[in-house]
Amino acid sequence: MNLVIVGAQWGDEGKGKMVDYLAENADIVVRFSGGANAGHTIMVHGDTFVLHLIPSGIISPDKIVVLGNGMVIEPSAMFEELTSLSVKGIDWEKRVIISDRAHLVLPDYKNEDMRIDEHRARPVGTTGRGIGVAYGKKASRDGIRIADLWDPVIWDSLSEANRNWLAPYKEKIASMKVNLADFMMANQDKNILLEGAQGALLDLDHGTYPYVSSGSSVSAGAATGAALGPRRIHSCLGVFKAYQTRVGNGPFPSEMLGDEHEALGAQLQKLGHEYGATTGRPRRIGYLDLVALRYSGWINSLDGFILSHLNLYDGFEAVSVCTAYELDGNRIDYFPSCTAELERIKPVLQAFPGWDGAVGAARCWEDMPEGARKFVEFIEDYTGVPVCGFSVGPLRGETFMRNEVWTAS
């Protein structure tokens, strides 16, 4: 069976941790989108792993991990990441596979990415990893793919500097590359976990364009980015935080702005260590936005949500969420397409009483404080999507499911 995990907000929801957890029942983990802009943090065996390109299944010893064709890959960053895994005792040899249709990020793309963003009238605030440049070249048919490294005409068309830079990686990549469509066909009886990067609101089509990334971060991206076709996807799960964060620029309707809200934002930023895992930038903080979450549930066709960070609200007197928007004096409950409208929105907040007891100590649904369960049930009613799992702390053991997720819906 094939199970997709995506971010349901603006990234950093805890996808990496959940992929690591769910990988236990997977044979293969395929990352289907993004590049080294992602930062997937996993805390396990008393160690912290921050993965950017390598799928989060790598921490489990016997899993095969695949960098899908939907990704853009910088070989130096990939091998650096693999070396740092070796240093931490993770044996990755023969377990890491790369689609030969994945596109390459070349060294000059990073400078180009930063230069373009600096000259934008309204900069996106990219991670500076050359992501937009690589996807841009891909769309304009000027990109270089893994397979192209062995095409003499394309190889000769590269600058000498790029050839010299790529040459040391070629032999190793040759032993890792596959035709992913063939590989997926040959493994169709296996349990495959499809790992997204970024989040629905950073998706090139469905996100807050132009303040988005350049890949396909919604579940549909798994079908193209992992070479398996939409009818081979059996279930889709979306991870979201009990509040909302965003790194970089762009509209954020439920952002905690203004004195009283900012103080709460600062408190959550500290409690949740909300600093970018890739760039170290402080993340902007907002109230959980249920209008955006319902939108995300729809565009990802989610079978279930996984809720993370609810434990951060343990001990709070009240927990507020955004249940509607006010746009130019009118109340709306849909997620607008127009950036200027998204920027003018004021959030309509609804407060819920805090709870006695600790979500952080819960290891099953029945353990959860009653107030927290009511809060979760409100989210389910609002979005129409069941919350089927919880991450209640950074460690692998601080995770539980309400139902079996490795079953096709």
Could you write out the DSSP letters of every residue in 112-160? HHHHHHHHSSS-----SSSHHHHHHHHHTT---BTGGGG-HHHHHHS-H
Which among ligand IMO, Mg ion, none contacts residue 31 (Cβ within 5 to 8 A by kind)? none
Neighbours of 320 (CB within 10 A): 18
**Site residues for Mg ion, window 172-201 (CB under 5 A)?**
none
Token digits of residue 110: 């990073």
Return the residue of 220, 227, 277, 342 that touches Mg ion, per CB under 5 A: 277
Which among ligand IMO, Mg ion, none contacts residue 306 (Cβ within 5 to 8 A by kind)? none
Question: Strand pairing partners for 390?
Answer: 307, 400
Residue tagged 């080294």 (tokens): 36
Q: Judged by CB, which is closer to ligand IMO: 17, or 101?
A: 17
Which among ligand IMO, Mg ion, none contacts residue 124 (Cβ within 5 to 8 A by kind)? ligand IMO
Q: How far is CA 294 from CA 8, 19, 51, 333, in A?
A: 9, 22, 29, 10
Distance CA 218, CA 117 (A): 24
Which of these segments, 85-93, 105-113, 164-172, 276-284, binds Mg ion (CB under 5 A)? 276-284
CB of 277 to Mg ion, least distance (A): 5
Residues at the site binding ligand IMO, with contacts judged by CB under 6 A: 7, 10-12, 34, 37-40, 124-127, 129, 131-132, 197-199, 202, 213-214, 247-248
Distance CA 123, CA 119 (A): 7
> Any idea which residues carry the catalytic annotation?
12, 40
Helix (H) or strand (E) holding 221: helix 220-225
CB of 295 to ligand IMO, least distance (A): 18
Which of these segments, 31-39, 62-70, 128-136, 261-269, binds Mg ion (CB under 5 A)? 31-39
CB of 335 to Mg ion, least distance (A): 22
Return the residue of 7, 14, 34, 39 that touches Mg ion, per CB under 5 A: 39
Which of 407, 392, 381, 330 has its CA nearest to residue 359? 392
Pairing of strands 284-289, 243-246: antiparallel
Q: Judged by CB, which is closer to ligand IMO: 31, or 177?
A: 31
With contact defined as beta carbons under 8 Å apart, do 345 and 333 qualify?
no
Q: Judged by CB, which is closer to ligand IMO: 135, or 183?
A: 135
34 is an interface residue for Mg ion by CB under 5 A: no
Return the residue of 1, 12, 261, 305 that touches Mg ion, per CB under 5 A: 12
Q: Which residues bind Mg ion (CB under 5 A)?
A: 12, 39, 277
